[in-house]
Structure formats: structure tokens, C-alpha cells
Structure 1
Amino acid sequence: MMAKTASLALLLAFAPLAVSAATPEEAYLSLRNRATAKLRKLEAAGQAAGAAEAEERKTLKELGEKMEAIIGPVSVPGFQKLGKYSIETLFEGVGADQLDGLAFTGDDEKSQLTVSTQSLTEAFLRARRKDWEKSEKPPQSLGEALASPFFYTLAVSPDAGVEIYADLPIAKPAAATLATAVLDLRSQDDAGGTLPDEIIVAVASEGRLYIASTPAKAKIESAPACEKIWSEHQAKAKKAMDSYSASGLANEKDFENYANLQAEGSAAFRRCFAEHAKSEKFFAALTQEAQALADKLAAAKR
């Protein structure tokens, strides 16, 4: 009886430790956050070279190994089997602060796939809420995030902004809890009247989040009405820029007017495109492309 009582007491003593034990994802985030804070403090003090760089390489390797253990094997047709850690640097700069996961290159060397977990994505959203674009309300759920162009910019497009031109109405695969597809363009500057050229598909399934991008195969065309809208805004923007130039680049209001007209023209062009594209033949073909990719992601072997 005393032995049983002692055993029970031992179990009860360790129970709080079991309850509070960190999950693999929590342990990963703790290490990443500590290392990032330390290295960026050194960077701010001008001490990012030498030993700090060596520490960053060592930590990136350790974080990558932890991520591989968290994600596990990934096998999606059309993408390479071997992925790499999605975070490229722990210092400030391009390739930092992306969505935590594994990145895979397509067999075509153009398509890209990032695989994360839903809990890591939710942690990413909480951490980046303060950085969200002012013109867009920070998403409160994963579903809201997958409809946001700024989410894709932050998560998987470190060197170019993502502009969504249209939602592609795919059916949610049976194995998925969420599935979305968008037609987009990545651009470092204002997209203007440029047509979209890429499909992004996101699928949540069995605790994982897959975000894949691939070049659009169908030939995409713009409606004459949309070209007219863009041309009219361009003409107004040119007048503003001519006035700014005539002032010897002194009249800042003219430049602000020019920038606003460019942005308004781009937004108006995308709205027009979204309205007209649904009735075009290429839209159905693009939706089929997106559906095929979503089905592959949902059926990915672990």
C-alpha cells in the first residue's frame, strides 16, 4: 500500500511538468525568437560579422533540422522531394521573418511550395499583426489570411509584393479543411495595368498548411473596358507628373497626386479585370489548373 502511495505521489509530482511540456513547435519558436533577438541586437551594435555570422549559420542549421522533424516527409507530385528551411537569415533583410516551414522548388524550376503547420501559421499571424499594411485589416483567422494579398507577400514573397487580381472558385478537396486559389502578380513596384501571370493555391489539411505558386498556363487577356480605365488614369497621372517636373520637382502636392492616381488606376484596373474575367474562357481554364493543384496538395503523402 505504501509503495502504491509513493508511486502515486511521484506521478502527481511530475504531472505539472507533463502538462507544461513544450510542443515541438513551441520549442522551435522559442529557439528562433531567442536567437533572432540576440543576433539582431549584435547587428544593431555593428557586430554582425565574424562570430555572429558563424552563430547564425549554426542556429539556422539547428532550426532547419527542427523544422524537418515538425513537418515530416513531404511528397507532392510536380515538386522536388527535398525541401529547405524557409527562413534564410536571422538578421534583418530579405529572406528574414517569412512563414516558418520548408520550401520546395517545382520540377519546372518556376513553381514554389511552402509547407508549414496551421499552429505555426497562426503564431506567424500574431507576430506580424503589428506590421500589417495600413490599408488592410489584419486577419483574425487563417481563412481571412488566405484571402489577403499582404499575407502572401509576408509569408512567401520576400522580394516582391503580391497583388491579387481574382479569386479562383475551386472546390475544397475532401481531405482539406480550407482551400483557396487566387490569380496574382508579383511586382516590386506598382503593378499598373500589367496582367496577372501566376496562380497561388493554399490548402490546409491534417494540421499542415500548403502554399503553392505556379505560372498560369492559360493565355490571359484584358477586356477593352479595363484597358480604357487604365489609359484614362495614366493620362491624368502624366499631367500630374508633367506639372511636378515643370515646378522643378518642388511641388510635392503634384507628386502626391501622381502617386495617388497611379495607385487608384492600378486598383481600378484590377477591379475591372476581376469583374470581366469570370466570363472569359481563360478563367475556367485557370480554375481547372488551380483545382488540379489543390487536389494534389490535399492528397500529399506524409
Structure 2
Amino acid sequence: MSEVSSYTIEEVAGLLKVSKLTVYDLIKKGMIPAYRVGRQMRVDEEDLKLYKSKMRMPQQAPRHEKPKTSDTLQSGEKETVIISGQDVSMDLLSKHLEKAIKETPLRKYSGSLNSLIEMYRGQCDIVSLHLYDAETGQYNIPYVKRILSGEPFCLINAVIRQAGIYVQKGNPQNIQGWEDLKRTDIRIVNREKGSGARVLLDEQLGVLGIKPSGVKGYNDIVTDHFSVASQVSRGQADAGVGAQHAAHMGNADFIPLIEEQYDIVILKKNQKLLDTVTDILSSKEYKSHLSQLNGYDTKMSGRIVYET
């Protein structure tokens, strides 16, 4: 991020993991300062950092105190729902949920595995995840069963996405699949531990018997799909793993390799919240918005994938 001093609206949307319409709305409300350069609107990097800092403050709990999630509230306190996950579908869910419960949910942008651990610790109510398990060929279920052991839960599909490899325009290195990542002429940019993309990469390397130390750039870390795609498009890396929707925003080409199940988990003790979210995910309005995004399929949205 230090290489640029300002961003386009599309780049801001990618960094915040929201739609461009949401960014325009934030600008219109005066929450993010912007200015025009010719026909293009720009947002200064410092202004974006300031906005993110302001939005982060309400989510911080006092030291030694857990955040007041919907299952840790004392009698008489106002319910606050905390949604953890990095995909734009969770921003859409947050907007729909705000209308339903008359309260603005708090958003956290932790990776899948870290979000699941936060739920176990009672720090969030809704967790989105896309964690691939090569041993079973399943998404999410093995991880949730292990980490939320003893906690009755429900796993619901939010959307189906295409996951794969970002490459430079025209794919000059002729990268075709996972095995190409061990080539000595290929350098990748990776995601942080606990992210779904990192888990997917590690699982695929394990299946092929490729050691992480044999992959150039394995320890070069960024924290979102957009940053991976952007670094690849700028030639700072030859490849990176992520979801299809960020390829266009990051100006990279995309090689789809797996249909990714993007689910959310809610504990059954929050039954009212569970019912409300299931209704939202099954609604025509939610599906209509998501189906307009590149690489999203709503054929399973709202379907219960697994429950204890």
C-alpha cells in the first residue's frame, strides 16, 4: 500500500471488500473524503486509513473483557451481532440483517480459521468460512466439528465461488494448475495463516507432496484477495491463490481450479438469529445481488449444509 498515495473507487471497494456502490455511498455521506482527477474519483491513502481506523474503534472491547456478543449479553443490554469474515457477501448480509433486527451489526474481517476460533472464544456470532480439507474432499464441516466440539451449531451456505490462481494478463508463464507453483521460474504471493486461501494452498501442496519451502514466495504475505491479485498484475509475483471476484478488481487473469463452498456457521443457542439469517440467505433479494458479481453462484444459498 505504501507504493501508492491514492486509490480509485474500484481499488477502495477491493480493499474494503464492499461494492463500488457502497463506496460511493460512503463518499456521499462524507465518511470518506474523495476528489476528482479528470473523470475519475480518487481517495487518498491516509483518508482511507483514517476511515478504517474510525470503523475499527467500536469493535474493541475493554481490556480483559470479551466483546458483548448476542450470547454474552446481560439482561437489559442492547443486543449487538458480530459478523466475522472477509467476503463481500458478508457485507451484504450485514445490510439485510440490520433491517431485520433494527440494529447495526459489527463487522470483523478475520480469516476463516481465525474467525472460527474467535467464535469458540465467544467473540462473534456469525462466522463465514471456506476451509478445504483434502483428506475428505469437503469444505468447512471437518474444521467446524473439530473446533466447535460440544457446541450445537448450524452450517448454512452463503454462496458458491470459484477459487483458483491469479496470473498476469495473458498468462505469460503458462501456469495451468497447482503443480506449476513448484516451478523454479514461478514466484507466488501468499495469504496469512488462518485464511481460507492459505488453507486451500497448503492442502493442495500436501496432496501433491510439495513442501512449502519448495515454493518461491511462500513467505511473502498479504491479507486479502485484492492485494494478491494486484501484486500479481503488477508483476511483483507470478501467481497467487484466491477467489475469482477479486481478479477483475486487481486487474489479473484467473485460472479456476475448484468450486469453493462459502458457508456461515451460527451456534444453535442463538436460534432467533439463526432463523433470521437463514431467511435472508434464502431470499430472492440476497441471491439477486450476489448473482450479479463475477464468480458467484447462489444455487445453494440458504441451504443447511450440516447441523449437530
With the shorter chain as reference, the TM-score category is under 0.3
Which structure has greater helix proportion? 1
Q: Of the two structures, which has the highest relative contact order with CA contacts closer than 8 Å and spacing of 6 or more?
A: 2
- Structure-1-length-normalised TM-score: 0.23
Where is the strand percentage greater, Structure 1 or Structure 2?
2
Structure showing greater Rg: 1
